[in-house]
Chains A and B, each alone.
Chain A
Amino acid sequence: EPEVTQTPSHQVTQMGQEVILRCVPISNHLYFYWYRQILGQKVEFLVSFYNNEISEKSEIFDDQFSVERPDGSNFTLKIRSTKLEDSAMYFCASSLSGRDTEAFFGQGTRLTVV
């Protein structure tokens, strides 16, 4: 069964460092998403990506964040200068289309900023 894969599963980084979280969406899917879940809080939408550009982003997704689909398979989330409050579980998801289909999620990357 096709699945969304995320690497690494856990990353520890020092405050101020750049991190790149990687995702391989399901191959025929067209919409890609990043969500995050700070411990004890709700899962929050960060950004959606379609047709090689951001289609929607939340207030959380400020200039420190960027997304890229560098090739036909990977979808990355970059945090330029990490802060302590960026510590969270980051989930990548993909869907066949934005409407009328469900999103499939990866296992998540736990980011710990120290």
Chain B
Amino acid sequence: AQSVTQPDIHITVSEGASLELRCNYSYGATPYLFWYVQSPGQGLQLLLKYFSGDTLVQGIKGFEAEFKRSQSSFNLRKPSVHWSDAAEYFCAVGAGNNRKLIWGLGTSLAVNP
């Protein structure tokens, strides 16, 4: 069955520290992978996506993610976290011809000053 796992429910980092949020997926075909961010009271904003090609993808706000087929992973990284990055982060895989999204549970990121 198709699924997405985000093993970390909550992560706290210090401002300026590096960040890696983990995402593992289970999908039979070539996955279309996404990271979305949800700030308090806001909608879901696309950070970055992977469809094909270069397995290291760059997104907005200084985020990047690396697709590793052998590990079924699509981890999100940022070299230096800012206080404004505190939010909920969701990994998702696009499935089927309609590309419906199958979501992970999300990782809540807190940033200490």
A interface, CB within 8 angstroms of B: 4, 31, 33, 35, 41-45, 48, 50, 55-56, 91, 93, 95, 98-108
Contacts and interface: CB of A to CB of B under 8 A. Distances in A.
A65 B105 CA distance: 24
Contacts of B103: 42-44
B97 A42 contact: no
11 contacts: A35-B101, A41-B105, A42-B104, A43-B92, A43-B103, A99-B97, A100-B51, A102-B34, A105-B44, A107-B43, A108-B44
Contacts of A4: 43
Most A CB contacts (10 A, CB to CB) among B46, B49, B99 go to B99
Given A43-B90, A100-B32, 7 more contacts: A33-B100, A35-B101, A43-B101, A44-B103, A55-B97, A104-B46, A105-B36
A106 B38 CA distance: 11
B105 A98 contact: no
Contact of A105 (B43, B49, B96, B99): B43
B98 A105 contact: no
Interface in B46-94: 46, 49, 51, 90, 92
Contacts of A103: 46, 99, 101
Contact of A102 (B42, B46, B98): B46
A41 B88 CA distance: 13
B111 interface: no
A72 B76 CA distance: 37
B98 A98 contact: yes
A56 B94 CA distance: 13
Given A106-B43, A108-B43, A50 B98 contact: yes
